[in-house]
Amino acid sequence: MSQTTADPAAPAKRDRTRYLYLAVIVAVIAGIVVGLVAPKVAVELKPLGTGFVNLIKMMISPIIFCTIVLGIGSVRQAAKVGKVGGLALVYFLVMSTVALAIGLVVGNLIHPGSGLNLTEAAKKAGATAAGGEKATGTVDFLLHIIPDTLFSALTHGEVLQTLLVALLVGFALQAMGRSGEPILRGIGHLQRLVFRILAMIMWVAPIGAFGAMAAVVGATGWKALAGLAQIMLGFYATCLIFVILVLGTLLWTFTRVSIFSLLRYLAREFLLILSTSSSESALPRLIAKMEHLGVSRPVVGITVPTGYSFNLDGTAIYLTMASLFIADALGKPLSIGQQISLLVFMVIASKGAAGVTGAGLATLAGGLQSHRPELVDGVGLIVGIDRFMSEARALTNFAGNAVATVLLGTWSGEFDRARATRVLRGDDPFDEQTMLDDDHSAPKDGPHDGPEARTAAAAPHV
C-alpha cells in the first residue's frame, strides 16, 4: 500500500483504525450489558444500529458501479468478462447445492425441533413474519433486474440493477477504446472519493454496533434463547464445518492459500458483520481487500456483487435446518422429496435478498406459506433467535464470497499469487485510511488487465 511501500525512506503512518475496531468490541460488550440491565431502554437504541447499516448501504451502489465499470472498461477482451461470469454462476450453483446437502444431513441427524411446544404467541409471531410475503416467480425476478432508468439503479440501492447498468457502461467504454479512457479516469477518481467517504463512515461503527447489539439483547433476553440453544448451536457448528472443511479444502487445493490466513486477513470485516448482523456492511471493504490481495479488478467486480445475490451458502444452510426444525417441532416432518422441492424453491426465492438483516426469516416464511402453509405458524419459534442466526448466515455468506473470489481469480488466471503471499504474511498491509490500493486503483495511461500488469505497476514500489 501507499503508506508502506511507496517510499521506503518515509516514516510509516500509524494505523489509527486499530483503535476503531477495539472500540467496536467494547461497544458490542456494552450493548450486551445494557440489553440485560435495561432491556426497555436498549430496545429504543435500535435506530443507532439501523442508521449505521443504512449509511453503509448508501455507499454500496456507487462502489459496485465504479468497481465493475473500471474492471470491464480496462480489460481488452470482452470474452474474459464472460468467462469469469460463466465460471461464477456454475460455481455458485454447485456450492449452494453442497450447502443445502450439508444442512439436510445435519438437520436430519440432530432433529433440532423435537419436543418443543408451539405457543399462541409464537403462532402470532410466525403469522406476522409471513405476512405480505409472496412467492416471486422467475419471470418477475428477471424483470426486476431491469431498472426504470439508467441512473435509478444507483439511487434505489438495488444490487442486481446496479450490476446490470455497470456491465452495460463497462462494455460500452470498452468498445469506445481510447476515447473512453478520460471517462475511465474520471470514474477512477470517483471511486477514490466514494471509498474516502466510506472510510469516514466507518468511524461511527462503534455507535452502530452498540445500538444494534443492545436492541437485540433487550428484545430477546437470554432466557428466551436457552430453550432454542440446540438449533442455534447446530446451525453455527454446521456453518463452521462448511467454511473450514468444504471452503477451506477447495481454497487450499486450487490456490494453496490457507483458509485461516484468509479469515485472519478479513478479521475486521467479520467483526463488523458480527456487530451489525449484515454482510452488506462489509461488501465495499471486501471489494477493496480482494483487489489488494491480488485478484484482478474484473474478477472482483463480477464475483463479489454477483455472489452477494447468488452465492448464499449460509442462507441455504439456514433455510434447510430451519425448515426441518419447524416441521419437527410441529410434529409434521418433511419427507425427503418435500425437503428438496421446498428448499430449492426457497434458495431461488432468496436471490437478491442477501446481506439484509431479517431477509432469511422473510424468505423462510414466504417459502413455507407457498408450499406447506400449515408450517408457517412454526416460524414464530425462531423469531426470537433469528437475529443471532442472521449473524451466522451473514458470516458464512461473506466467507463464501471471499473464497469464491480467490478461486475464480485462480481459475481465470487473474490471481497474483506472489502478491497474495506478501499481503497475507503482513508485508503489504491494507490501507485502512483510503481502502484503495494507490498503485492499482485507477486507470492511468491506458488499459491494463490481469495480475501481470498490476505486478509491473507495483514493481518500483516493492
Q: How confident is the model at residue 406 (pLDDT cuts 50, 70, 90)?
A: very high
pLDDT, position 5: 41
- Is residue 109's pLDDT more than 90? no
Lowest mean pLDDT among 49-53, 411-415, 418-422, 458-462: 458-462
Q: Above 50 in pLDDT, residue 456?
A: no
For residue 143, pLDDT over 80 is answered with no
Cell numbers standing for residue 240: 463452521
Q: Residue 70 pLDDT > 50, yes or no?
A: yes
- Long-range pairs, 10-13, Cβ under 8 A, ≥24: 13/433
- Residue 404: the pLDDT is 93
Q: Which residue has the higher pLDDT, 441 or 316?
A: 316
> In this predicted model, what pLDDT tens digit does every residue of 318-349 receive, in sequence order?
888 888 887 877 777 777 777 777 767 666 65
Burial state string for 311-347 with b = 16 or more CB within 10 A and e = fewer than 16 = bbbbbbbbbbbbbbbbbbbbeeebeeeebeebbbbbb
162: helix, coil or strand?
A: helix
Q: Is the pLDDT of residue 49 over 90?
A: no
Give the pLDDT confidence score for residue 355 in this predicted structure.
44
Model pLDDT, residue 4: 40
pLDDT tens figures, 262-306: 999 998 888 888 777 667 778 888 888 999 999 988 888 888 887
CA 319/CA 202 separation, integer angstroms: 31
- Domains in the chain (CATH in brackets) are 79-141+224-461 (1.10.3860.10)
97: which residues sit within 8 A by CB, 6+ positions away? none
State the pLDDT at residue 448.
42
Mean pLDDT value across the chain: 74
What pLDDT is stored for residue 194 in this prediction? 82
Q: What is the reported pLDDT for 321? A: 82
339 vs 421: which has the higher pLDDT: 421
pLDDT above 70: percentage of residues in the chain: 69
Q: Which residue has the higher pLDDT, 204 or 449?
A: 204
Write down the pLDDT at residue 2. 37
For residues 214 and 457, the model is more confident at 214
pLDDT at 356: 47
Q: What mean pLDDT comes out for the span 31-51?
A: 82
Q: What is the pLDDT, as a whole number, of residue 316?
A: 82
Residue of 311, 227, 220 whose CA lies nearest to 32: 220
Q: Give the pLDDT confidence score for residue 445 in this predicted structure.
A: 38
CB atoms within 10 A of CB 422: 17
User: What pLDDT is recorded for position 242?
Assistant: 92
pLDDT for residue 8:
41
Most confident of 35-44, 76-85, 256-265, 270-279: 256-265
Distance CA 390, CA 42 (A): 19
- Number of Cβ within 10 Å of residue 399's Cβ equals 27
Q: Mean per-residue pLDDT for 86-100?
A: 84
Phi, psi of 295 (to 5 degrees): -85, 135
- pTM score over 0.95: no
Residue % of the chain over a pLDDT of 90? 11
Choose between 334 and 146: higher pLDDT: 146
Digit-coded pLDDT (tens) for 175-204:
887 888 888 889 888 888 887 887 788 788
What's the pLDDT tens digit per position in 220-253? 666 555 555 667 788 888 899 999 999 999 999 9
Instruction: Give mean pLDDT, residues 403-423.
Output: 91
99-103, 110-114, 181-185, 258-262, range with greatest mean pLDDT: 258-262
CA 71 – CA 68 distance, rounded (Å)? 5
CB atoms within 10 A of CB 46: 16
- What does the alpha-carbon distance between residue 302 and residue 279 come to, in Å, rounded to a whole number? 17
State the pLDDT confidence band at 453, using cuts at 50, 70 and 90.
Answer: very low
